[in-house]
A and B are shown apart, each in its own frame.
Chain A
C-alpha cells in the first residue's frame, strides 16, 4: 500500500478485463488438457440403498467443474474459508488474509489446482503475505497448525513451504504489493460525509443522510467476501469499495423503507464521476456470489434447508480434492 495505486504494478499488470481473464484461463485449460489428457478420477462411492452400503466405483472427469477454480463457486468458497480458518488461528489482521487471497488468485491464473496442492498453496500464500505486510508469523508454528488442519496433505517438514514460497514469488514475478479496498472505503465515507453536508437542504436532518459505523462494518464484511470472486482481478479497489457500500445499503433497506440514504448515495456516485459500468459489473459479481452462497432466489424450501446445512458442498469438495491429490486415483480411461 505504498502511496500511489495509479502507478503501481497492481494496476498495470494485475487488472484484467473479463475477456483477458477468459483467454488466460482457456490457455490454462489447454495446458491442463495436454498434460492430463483423458484422465478420470475413480471414486469409490457408498450408495445407501436397500441393500445397504454397496460400494461402487464412479468415474468423474478430471475436468469436472468442481475442480476448476474459475468455474465453480464451491471450490472458491471452500479455499477462502480454509484460508480464513488458518489466518484466524494466528489472529492475523484481515488485510494479510486478503493479500494472501489475492496471491492465491493470481497464482491460480498460471497453475491449475491439479498441479499443486491447494492446501500448500494456502499455507504458503499466508506465509508470504504475512512477511510482505510486515507481520511475519513463524514458519514452524504455521506448519504445525496447517498440519493439524489438513494432516493428509501437509508434511511435517516445513522446508516444503519455503520451497513453494520460492515458486510463488517467481510466479508473481515478485510483484507483491497489493492494494485493498479498505482504505478507499474509509476515504469514500469521509468524502461522502462532506458531500452530504454540502448538499443538504434546509429543514432536513443531517443524520438521515449520514452513514454510520454500522455501514462501514457491513461493507467491510462484503469486501471480505468479495475475495471469493474475481473482482480483485477485474476492478480497481475503489470500485469494489463503493460497490460493497452500495450493496450494504441495499441489504439494509430492503423494501419500502424510508430511503434517503440510498438516494443521497446515488447522487454522490453520480457526482463523483466513478465509472458506473464498473460498479455495476462489480455489484453483479458480488450478487451472483451471494445468490449462490445463500441460495436466496430459490423458491424451493427444501432445497434451501439443504443448502443451510451444507452451504457449498464442503465435504464433497474436500473429498474430491483428496481424491485428486491421491496419486493412484487418477487413471486413464
Chain B
C-alpha cells in the first residue's frame, strides 16, 4: 500500500465533519418527553431546574404497543385462513403443503413486520427480497385458484388480492388505504411518520371486518351443509366435490379459527383486566426532574457540560433498585435539558413534620415514627451495601408515597466509595446540609465513612420526635478565599445537647484538622436524655437508637444494618410497610404550581412558530390598516377645518403640556421635521382663514391655533409610533375599540367590561416597565404596583400615556356607573316605600348583585388616582 503523508495540508475546519450527520439522524428519531407524559405542574424549583408532576399520556404505554403487534400477527393469521379456504378445492395433500408453507411464510412475515417497525425507512435490498418472496407464494396460490375457476370463489379471490396488498403494505411500513384500487395503491406517497398510527387503526378495523366475514362464511357453510344433508345426489358434481373436501376440512378450519378467536379473546380479556386494575388504582403519577443545562445569558458561555450532580444521579439511579429509593423510570435528553422521570411521591418528611407542628404541635404517633425510621434505615442499608454514600440526607429529601412507603430521594450528592480515584474531600469540599452534618465533617475530616449518613438519620429521627431540628445552627458561609470555615454555631448546638466529647469516647479526636477550634469550647454535659424527655418521649428503645445514631466517634456509630436489628424495631408496635397504617388523618398533598408547564421550551418553540405565523398575519393586517388609516390623515385639512370645540377641550385634558410638541419634534428626522413644519403652517393658515371668516375674536383664534398645533403634534407622533412599533399600535387600536361600549347594556355587564379593560391596560402598563405581575392578583394589588410607576411618570411615552388615559377613563366611567346605581337604588327604595315589591323583585336581585360588585371595586376607588 502506498502510504501517503496524511494531514499534509490543513484545510479549513468548517469543511470537516464533526458530529452533524449523526446529530441529524438522532434528532429526527427522538421521542419527546411530552409524547410520553402530560405535565400537570411543577412541585419544586431550585437552581438545578424544576421538578414537575406528570401523568403518562394515554397513547404511550408500552403494553399497548405489544398488543398492537400481536394484533398484526393475528391479522396475518386470518389472511392465511382465507387462503386455506381458497385452496379447498385443491387436493388434501396440496392443502396441507400449502398450510405448512404458509406457516413458514408467517414466520417470515412476522420477522419482517417487526423489522419494518424497527426500521421505518426500509428501502434496503433485503427487505425487498422478503417481500418478493411473499409475493411469489401468494401468486402461486392465486394461480391455483384460477385454474379451478369457480365463479363463487373468484369473489373471494378478489378479497385475497386485496389482502395481499395489505400484507405488502404492512411489511413495507406503508399506509394502507382500503378504498384504493390495488394498482394505484403502490404509487402513493407513503413516507411519513404519521403512517404508523393510521396503520394501526386500519388494521384493527380490518380485523373486525374479517371477523364479520368469517361469521358470515360460517353461516353460509352451515346452510350448505344442511342442504347437502337433505338432497345430496341432486347437487352438481363440482360443488359436491367441494362440499366433501370442505366437510373434511371444516373441522380443522373451525379449530383454527376457534383457536385464533380464543387467543384474541384472551388478549382482550387481559387488556380489560389490566384496565380494571388500572382504574382501581389511583392514577400513576410521575415526577420529572428537569436539569437545566443551558442557562440564559452570561453563563451560557462558560457552560461546561452536564453538572456532576446530574451525572451522578443518572448513573447511580439507573443501577439502583430498591423499594425505599425513588425509582428512576426513564431519562430523556432533549432540547439541551435532561429530564429524569421517576415515581411521584405525594409527601416528604418536611411536609409531614410541618403538618404536625402547625397550627399546633401534635407529636407523631409511635408506630408511624417507627415505620418511618425502619424504612429509612432499610433504604440506607441498601445504599451502603452498594457502596454508595448519600451525603445529603434531610427531611426534605425523604419522600413518602401516597400509600405510605418511604423513599430516599435526590442522589445528586451521592457517591460510590469503593475504589476511590480521587479522595472524597477533593471531590466536594462541603457535603450534607448544615443541620444534619456529622461532627467529623465539621472537624474537617478528609476521609469520611458512610457513618455520616447515619448521623443525619439520627438528626432526622430527633426531628421527627420533637418536630423541630435538633441541632439548628447557623451556617458560616465560605469566604472569598474559598477555605472552608469552621462551623462554630453548629458545633456549639451539638455540644449543648450531646456534651463535650473526650478521648475515650472519640479515639482519634485530636487528629482532626479542626481540633484546635473544638478545644476552645467550654465543657458541656450530655443532655440527650433530658432532651428526649422534654420532647415527651417515653420509649427507652427509641432513646437507645437515638443514642447509638448520635455517637461522636464515626467508628463506633451504629451502621444501618445493625440499627435495623435493634430492640426498638422488634418490640410492639412493630413497624409496618405503610407508615400511614391506622391513621385516619390525611396530610395535605403537594402544592402544584401550574403557571409554568412549559417543561421543555418545546411548547415554546412550537408556539414560537405559530406566533411567527400569527405575527406575519398581523403585520399584513396592520399594513392593510395603515394604508387605510393614512387616507384620513392625508385629508387632515378637511378633518381639522371642522374642529369640534368639545373634542379639543378633551384633548387639552389629555395632552396638557406644550412641551410635548417639542418632544415630538425631537423624535423626527430632519426631513420629517421640514415636512412636518410645512404641513403645520399650512394647516394653521387654513384654520386661521376659516376662523377669521367665522368672525371670531383675536384671542379665540390664538387659542384655537394653539390647540390645532397640539393636535397636529399628536397626530405626527402617532404616525411615528405606528411605524416604530406596529404591534403596540395594535393594542392601542384595540383599546380605543373596546372603549366605546354600549351604554344600553345592563349595569353589571358594563362593570365587568370596565374591569376587564382596566385590568388589561394595567397589565400592559406594568409590563412596559417590566414589573412582575400575576394573573390572579386583584385590582388593589395591581394598584399598589402602579404606584411604583410614579417616579417614571415624566418619562412616559404616548403609548403609556394612552394606557394611563384609558385607566383614567375607566375610573370616570366607574364613578358614573356608581352614581347611576345609587340613583337606581334610591329610586327603587322610593318606589318600594310607595308600593309592594311584587313586580320589582327581579330587578332588586339584579341590583343586589350589582352592589356586591360595587363593594369589590370599592378599595379600588379609594386608591389615589394617577
Q: Do A and B bind each other?
A: yes
Mark the stretch among A3-11, A244-252, A265-273 that contacts chain B.
A3-11
For A328, give its contact among B15, B304, B315 (CB under 8 Å).
B15
Q: Mark A25-66, 1 if CB is under 8 A from B, else 0.
A: 001001101110000000111111000000000000000000
Within 8 A of A (CB), among B12-45: 13, 15-19, 21-23, 25-26, 30
**Using Cβ atoms and an 8 Å threshold, which residues of chain A touch B647?**
none
**Using Cβ atoms and an 8 Å threshold, which residues of chain B touch A46?**
2, 4
- Is A221 interfacial (CB-CB < 8 Å)? no
Q: Mark B604-622, 1 if CB is under 8 A from A, else 0.
A: 0000000000000000000
A116 near B11 (CB under 8 angstroms)?
Answer: no
For A1, give its contact among B2, B333, B336, B419 (CB under 8 Å).
B419
Mark the stretch among A167-175, A224-232, A281-289, A291-299 that contacts chain B.
A167-175
- Is A217 interfacial (CB-CB < 8 Å)? no
**Using Cβ atoms and an 8 Å threshold, which residues of chain B touch A20?**
none
**Using Cβ atoms and an 8 Å threshold, which residues of chain A touch B6?**
315-316, 318-319, 322
For A153, give its contact among B16, B336, B387 (CB under 8 Å).
B16
**Using Cβ atoms and an 8 Å threshold, which residues of chain B touch A195?**
none
B22 near A111 (CB under 8 angstroms)?
Answer: yes
**Using Cβ atoms and an 8 Å threshold, which residues of chain A touch B2?**
45-48
Interchain nearest-CB distance for A183 vs B (Å): 7
A316 near B3 (CB under 8 angstroms)?
Answer: yes
For A176, give its contact among B16, B19, B311 (CB under 8 Å).
B311
B303 near A327 (CB under 8 angstroms)?
Answer: no
- Is B318 interfacial (CB-CB < 8 Å)? yes
A9 near B304 (CB under 8 angstroms)?
Answer: no
- Is A164 interfacial (CB-CB < 8 Å)? yes
Q: Given known contacts A96-B421, A131-B308, is B22 in contact with A115 (CB within 8 Å)? A: yes
B3 near A177 (CB under 8 angstroms)?
Answer: no
A151 near B10 (CB under 8 angstroms)?
Answer: yes
- Is B319 interfacial (CB-CB < 8 Å)? yes
A316 and B15 CA atoms in complex are apart in Å by 21
B315 near A116 (CB under 8 angstroms)?
Answer: no
Interchain nearest-CB distance for B835 vs A (Å): 80
**Using Cβ atoms and an 8 Å threshold, which residues of chain A touch B308?**
131, 136
B11 near A2 (CB under 8 angstroms)?
Answer: no
Looking at chain B's contact residues, the main secondary structure is: loop
Q: Given known contacts A2-B319, A135-B422, is B19 in contact with A322 (CB within 8 Å)? A: no
For A34, give its contact among B123, B314, B316, B338 (CB under 8 Å).
B123
**Using Cβ atoms and an 8 Å threshold, which residues of chain A touch B151?**
none
A241 and B119 CA atoms in complex are apart in Å by 38
For A116, give its contact among B13, B19, B331 (CB under 8 Å).
B19
**Using Cβ atoms and an 8 Å threshold, which residues of chain A touch B16?**
117, 152-153, 325-327
- Is A160 interfacial (CB-CB < 8 Å)? yes
Interchain nearest-CB distance for A120 vs B (Å): 5
For B17, give its contact among A9, A111, A325 (CB under 8 Å).
A325
A115 and B23 CA atoms in complex are apart in Å by 8
Q: Given known contacts A2-B386, A93-B421, is B315 in contact with A326 (CB within 8 Å)? A: no
A35 and B29 CA atoms in complex are apart in Å by 15
B305 near A139 (CB under 8 angstroms)?
Answer: yes
- Is A166 interfacial (CB-CB < 8 Å)? yes
Q: Given known contacts A34-B121, A134-B422, is B18 in contact with A120 (CB within 8 Å)? A: yes
A327 near B15 (CB under 8 angstroms)?
Answer: yes
Least CB separation from B337: chain A residue: A166
**Most chain-B CB neighbours within 10 Å: which of A96, A171, A174?**
A174
**Using Cβ atoms and an 8 Å threshold, which residues of chain B touch A216?**
none
A35 and B28 CA atoms in complex are apart in Å by 14
Least CB separation from A131: chain B residue: B311
- Is A114 interfacial (CB-CB < 8 Å)? yes
Interchain nearest-CB distance for A189 vs B (Å): 16
Least CB separation from B126: chain A residue: A30
- Is A86 interfacial (CB-CB < 8 Å)? no
A167 near B26 (CB under 8 angstroms)?
Answer: yes
A44 and B121 CA atoms in complex are apart in Å by 35
Interchain nearest-CB distance for A23 vs B (Å): 11
- Is B388 interfacial (CB-CB < 8 Å)? yes
B387 near A315 (CB under 8 angstroms)?
Answer: no
B318 near A177 (CB under 8 angstroms)?
Answer: yes
**Most chain-B CB neighbours within 10 Å: which of A93, A128, A169?**
A169
A128 and B319 CA atoms in complex are apart in Å by 17
A2 near B7 (CB under 8 angstroms)?
Answer: no
B319 near A9 (CB under 8 angstroms)?
Answer: yes
- Is A209 interfacial (CB-CB < 8 Å)? no
Interchain nearest-CB distance for B561 vs A (Å): 13
A134 near B416 (CB under 8 angstroms)?
Answer: yes
Of the four ranges (under 10, 10 to 19, 20 to 34, 35 or more), the interface on chain B belongs to 35 or more
Within 8 A of B (CB), among A206-263: none
A167 near B23 (CB under 8 angstroms)?
Answer: yes
- Is B427 interfacial (CB-CB < 8 Å)? yes
Interchain nearest-CB distance for A27 vs B (Å): 8
A133 and B126 CA atoms in complex are apart in Å by 43
- Is B472 interfacial (CB-CB < 8 Å)? no
**Most chain-A CB neighbours within 10 Å: which of B19, B25, B311?**
B19
Within 8 A of B (CB), among A90-136: 93, 95-96, 111, 114-117, 120, 127-128, 131-136
A170 near B333 (CB under 8 angstroms)?
Answer: yes
- Is B415 interfacial (CB-CB < 8 Å)? yes
For A183, give its contact among B315, B336, B419 (CB under 8 Å).
B419
Least CB separation from B336: chain A residue: A166
**Using Cβ atoms and an 8 Å threshold, which residues of chain A touch B584?**
none
**Using Cβ atoms and an 8 Å threshold, which residues of chain B touch A111?**
22
A95 near B421 (CB under 8 angstroms)?
Answer: yes
A117 and B537 CA atoms in complex are apart in Å by 65
B319 near A115 (CB under 8 angstroms)?
Answer: no
- Is A162 interfacial (CB-CB < 8 Å)? yes
A170 near B26 (CB under 8 angstroms)?
Answer: yes
Least CB separation from B300: chain A residue: A159
- Is A161 interfacial (CB-CB < 8 Å)? yes
Q: Given known contacts A4-B386, A160-B18, A313-B1, is B305 in contact with A318 (CB within 8 Å)? A: no
A131 and B121 CA atoms in complex are apart in Å by 37
A176 near B421 (CB under 8 angstroms)?
Answer: no
- Is B697 interfacial (CB-CB < 8 Å)? no
Q: Mark A59-101, 1 if CB is under 8 A from B, else 0.
A: 0000000000000000000000000000000000101100000
A152 near B318 (CB under 8 angstroms)?
Answer: no
Within 8 A of A (CB), among B110-135: 119, 121, 123-124, 126
- Is B306 interfacial (CB-CB < 8 Å)? yes
- Is B57 interfacial (CB-CB < 8 Å)? no
**Using Cβ atoms and an 8 Å threshold, which residues of chain A touch B752?**
none
**Using Cβ atoms and an 8 Å threshold, which residues of chain B touch A48?**
2
Within 8 A of A (CB), among B387-434: 387-388, 415-416, 418-422, 427
A132 and B293 CA atoms in complex are apart in Å by 17
Least CB separation from A114: chain B residue: B21
A316 and B5 CA atoms in complex are apart in Å by 8
**Using Cβ atoms and an 8 Å threshold, which residues of chain B touch A264?**
none
For A3, give its contact among B18, B315, B387, B415 (CB under 8 Å).
B387
Within 8 A of A (CB), among B608-660: none
**Using Cβ atoms and an 8 Å threshold, which residues of chain B touch A30?**
119, 124, 126
Interchain nearest-CB distance for A161 vs B (Å): 7
**Using Cβ atoms and an 8 Å threshold, which residues of chain B touch A155?**
13, 18
**Using Cβ atoms and an 8 Å threshold, which residues of chain B touch A34?**
121, 123-124
**Using Cβ atoms and an 8 Å threshold, which residues of chain B touch A153?**
13, 16, 18
Least CB separation from B115: chain A residue: A27
Q: Can you pick out 19 interface pairs between chain A and chain B where the beta carbons lie within 8 Å of each other?
A: A1-B387, A1-B416, A2-B319, A2-B416, A7-B319, A8-B319, A27-B119, A34-B123, A43-B4, A117-B16, A128-B311, A134-B422, A153-B13, A162-B304, A174-B315, A175-B315, A176-B318, A318-B6, A324-B17
The 8 closest A-B pairs by CB, nearest first: A319-B6, A115-B22, A176-B315, A116-B22, A162-B305, A116-B19, A174-B331, A170-B333
Other than the given A177-B319, A326-B11, 12 more pairs (CB < 8 A) read A2-B316, A115-B22, A134-B416, A135-B421, A135-B422, A159-B303, A167-B23, A174-B318, A175-B318, A176-B314, A310-B3, A316-B3
